[in-house]
Amino acid sequence: MILPVASLLPPALIESCRQLASDDSLFVDGRSTAGWHAKRLKHNLQARPSAPVATLMKQLMATISGHELIQAAARPKHIIRLLLSRYDEGMHYGNHVDDAIMDGQRTDLSFTIFLSDPDSYDGGELVIDEPAAERPFKLAAGALLLYPSNTLHQVMPVTRGQRLVLVGWIRSLIREPAQRELLFDLERSIAQVRSAGDQADTLALLLKTRSNLLRMWADD
Ligand code: NI
């Protein structure tokens, strides 16, 4: 399941990221965190660990993991890593799959949060390889795209302007994508029944089912 989440970041957090991104001294070659294969494909810049970056990343992690839709769709146990990446003109990231294990944890879901206005740069689409076709994504500033970590994907060359994004990985409590999707559907049904009101018994049974599926499937 590929899920876009609109307006995940408030404007103030987008602005803080952009301000950091304007300081070249905070950035290093993105190849520093890539595996041996990805090193040959990766051409971007990444914010290196530093106090201002760490403070902002902590705030961002809380916003992302606390978001209702992320909770329902990803069931995050941890956000494993969060990186601020910058693609200046000519930069790109060739077709690759993300590392299965990062910092000792399995990566189940990957996400990209777009921070630049789509009109401010050309190229730079995130292209995800699906069985039927390749799908390009270029979302509004502040929107997040959640996708399975087991896909091949690439970032097309930026031909004008600058593409600023946050990229991260989630270790989910639910390992199996099909089970995660079923819980997501159930969560949405619960929300619909709750907003309709006056169906207390149905709601109680749905909540019981959610609880017991989580108990059966949670890989904690
Ligand atoms: Ni990737």
Cα(34) to ligand 1 centroid in Å equals 9
Residues 186 and 161 in one domain: no
Q: Which residue has the tokens 């905070």?
A: 26
Residues 118 and 202 in one domain: no
Residues 60 and 32 in one domain: yes
Cα(95) to ligand 1 centroid in Å equals 8
Q: Which residue has the tokens 């070659």?
A: 29
Cα(96) to ligand 1 centroid in Å equals 6
- pTM, to two decimals: 0.94
Domain count, the chain: 2
Identify the CA nearest to 105 among candidates 82, 80, 83: 80
Residues 78 and 140 in one domain: yes
Residues 116 and 152 in one domain: yes
Residues 138 and 204 in one domain: no
In sequence order, which residues have a C-beta less than 8 Å from that of residue 179 and are 6 or more positions away?
213, 217
Cα(213) to ligand 1 centroid in Å equals 31
Q: What is the CATH number of the domain that holds 12?
A: 2.60.120.620
CA 146 to chain centre: 5
What span, in angstroms and rounded, lies between the C-alpha atoms of 123 and 69?
A: 28
Identify the CA nearest to 82 among candidates 100, 102, 97, 101: 102
Cα(110) to ligand 1 centroid in Å equals 8
Cα(148) to ligand 1 centroid in Å equals 10
Burial 178-196 (b: 16+ CB within 10 A, else e): ebbeebbebbeebeebeee
Task: Encode the chain (220 residues) as per-residue pLDDT tens digits.
Answer: 899 999 999 999 999 999 999 999 999 999 887 777 778 899 999 999 899 999 999 999 999 999 999 999 999 999 999 999 999 999 999 999 999 999 999 999 999 999 999 999 999 999 999 888 888 999 999 999 999 999 999 999 999 999 999 999 999 999 999 999 999 999 999 999 999 988 999 999 999 999 999 999 999 8
Residues 107 and 60 in one domain: yes
Cα(118) to ligand 1 centroid in Å equals 20
Residues 137 and 210 in one domain: no
CB neighbourhood size of 113 (10 A) = 27
Cα(195) to ligand 1 centroid in Å equals 38
CA 60 to chain centre: 12
Residues 135 and 202 in one domain: no
Residues 60 and 113 in one domain: yes
pLDDT of residue 128: 96
Q: What amino acid is encoded at 184 in this protein?
A: F
Q: What amino acid is encoded at 116 in this protein?
A: S
Q: What amino acid is encoded at 45 in this protein?
A: L
Cα(153) to ligand 1 centroid in Å equals 6
Cα(81) to ligand 1 centroid in Å equals 12
- List the domain range (segments joined by +) for residue 140: 3-172
pLDDT of residue 34: 78
Residues 131 and 186 in one domain: no
Cα(72) to ligand 1 centroid in Å equals 23
pLDDT of residue 2: 94
Length of the chain: 220
Residues 115 and 209 in one domain: no
